A and B are shown apart, each in its own frame.
Chain A
């Protein structure tokens, strides 16, 4: 069974540009999470989808970040316009329905904003 996949693996953009990250969860996983790790710090929660609905977006830093999950399958996270402090590794995770189900993480997208 394929794991969580993320695209691209790396992205280098200039301040003010737009970047879109994509996450494909494990097939059948209704729950999809986005997390971010800024260098040397903790992995921080951004938001949580249940199917196509945003269950919890309390971790989204500001309105420059837009997450979507159309059709309840893959998800995109758009940063527009990107700022220097947005640099970090963005992880996506997915899990089955219930709270006790394990979250499976993708390999992450390393975003560098110059």
Chain B
């Protein structure tokens, strides 16, 4: 059973447009929601993350929106650029155990930003 569901599987956006990727989770124990960006031949790299005590977090052109009651969160990329073309993974983690813990990932979204 997949604990974090991600959509869409792929996305094509024109340069300057807004890219939106959605995720939904099942486990209410999750309390940390990161997004990872992966370029071909590289490993996933942390892009931005949010805790459930806030509804939105913005870092530059990247924004996470979080809806705790709906158990959903999304990544918005404003003014999308060709350099943003990559695979994006949402993830979730139980952070409050005090010890390091595993990430639970979505299936990934391949984003292509066209000129």
Contact = CB atoms under 8 A, between A and B. Distances in A.
Contacts of B83: none
Interface string B58-80: 00000000000000000000000
A41 B9 CA distance: 10
Interface stretch (A12-20, A61-69, A70-78, A102-110): A102-110
B106 A42 contact: yes
Contact of A107 (B6, B32, B43, B108): B43
Contacts, number: 68
Contact of B100 (A35, A48, A59, A107): A48
Interface residues of B, number: 27
B109 to A, nearest CB: 12
A77 to B, nearest CB: 15
**Chain A interface residue number, banded:** 20 to 34
Interface string B33-66: 0001000011111100000000000000000000
